[in-house]
A and B are shown apart, each in its own frame.
Chain A
Amino acid sequence: SQQGEEDPQALSIQEGENATMNCSYKTSINNLQWYRQNSGRGLVHLILIRSNEREKHSGRLRVTLDTSKKSSSLLITASRAADTASYFCATDFSGTASKLTFGTGTRLQVTL
């Protein structure tokens, strides 16, 4: 399968702490995207990083991409209870650029 794999599968932290989740993939990509899903809802796009970029920021989010290791990380700084959700990475593989392939997700729980 070309599906990305997130690590860890679940993460529980306290409000104010940073949360880091990782995504690994198997083949060359054009870009990598991160999405968020609140329980029972649709996904919301967070950030897109292109294969020629190494780091990108958006508010409290920081995404890195290491194409040599075929991996990406999403860092959420100063987490809030409202950040509780599942986070998915999605890649468009260079050979099948017409669709995205989603990873298995990291379930983040932020407690007060």
Chain B
Amino acid sequence: DGGITQSPKYLFRKEGQNVTLSCEQNLNHDAMYWYRQDPGQGLRLIYYSQIVNDFQKGDIAEGYSVSREKKESFPLTVTSAQKNPTAFYLCASSIQAGPYEQYFGPGTRLTVT
């Protein structure tokens, strides 16, 4: 089955720890995205990547880092510098960056206490 996967579904961490969220796609898409969603809110773009070994900051990149070493993978690290990391994190991909349909993973709910 083609698709986009995120793991784990739920993640708990202590304040001050870095944590890495996984995102993998087998759709052969060039572009990948990370969004943050807070309760009752829309999606806010954290980082996006148009192609392997390239990524750009989105609207709320502070306290986050990413890498794009392989086309299939776009992991997101939530660092201890992120002041309010508890949120629902969604990864998406599209055939190219731009006005194309985005395919979303099931999300990771991160709770930091």
Contacts and interface: CB of A to CB of B under 8 A. Distances in A.
Contacts of A45: 101-103
Contacts of B63: none
Interface residues of A, dominant DSSP: strand
A99 B48 contact: yes
Contact of A43 (B44, B45, B50, B104): B104
Contacts of A92: 98-99
Give chain A's interface residue range (CB within 8 Å of chain B).
20 to 34
Task: Tell me if B's interface is mostly helix, strand, loop or mixed.
Answer: strand
Given A41-B106, A42-B106, A102 B42 contact: yes
B97 interface: yes
Given A88-B43, A103-B42, A44 B104 contact: yes
A41 B33 CA distance: 16
A100 interface: yes
Nearest to A103: B42
Interface in A1-45: 3, 30-31, 33, 35, 40-45
A98 B98 contact: yes
A45 B31 CA distance: 16
Contact of A99 (B90, B97, B106): B97
Interface of B: 31, 33, 35, 40-45, 48, 50, 56, 58, 88, 90, 92, 97-99, 101-107, 109
10 contacts: A41-B107, A42-B104, A43-B102, A88-B42, A92-B99, A97-B99, A98-B48, A98-B50, A99-B48, A99-B58
